[in-house]
Amino acid sequence: MAYFEDIWRTVRQIPKGKVASYGAVARAAGHPGTARQVAWALRSAEARRLPWQRVIGSGGKILLSGVDGLHQRTLLELEGIPFRSSRIDISRCEFQFKK
């Protein structure tokens, strides 16, 4: 459970209006190379009120499908994150974790 807690703590740092990739979250949490596991940590954290919607694919794309992906996009748009087609301009909205 320590891995998940590291991920949750890291995701809580992402402020409104910013996003981070799964890989960036994994690296910032001290677990480089575990981007896929970040998704599992977020999925298991529903009751923890994390800003899960701020974690996206490295190319600026929402990786969730169907209703979940639409919900994530809606939440991000409400935070002021601009989309161009199906992608976020990550260079404008990417959160830089402190090292």
CATH assignment of the domain containing 15: 1.10.10.10
pLDDT of residue 26: 98
pLDDT of residue 36: 94
For residue 20, which of 68, 52, 64, 66 has the smallest C-alpha distance? Answer: 52
Non-local CB neighbours of 47 within 8 Å, separated by 6+ positions: none
Boundaries of domain holding 23: 2-93
Residue 99 lies in a domain: no
CA nearest 88: which of 67, 57, 65, 66?
Answer: 57
What's residue 27's pLDDT?
A: 97
Task: Output the DSSP codes for 2-57.
Answer: HHHHHHHHHHTTS-TT-BEEHHHHHHHTT-TT-HHHHHHHHHTTGGGT--GGGEE-
Number of domains the chain contains = 1
Asked if the structure places residue 33 within a domain, the reply is yes
Which pLDDT belongs to residue 91?
Answer: 86
Length in residues, the chain? 99
Series of mean pLDDT values for 10-residue runs along the chain (99 residues): 92 97 97 95 79 94 94 96 91 91
- Report helix, strand or coil for 19: strand
Model pTM?
0.92
Can you give the pLDDT at residue 47? 53
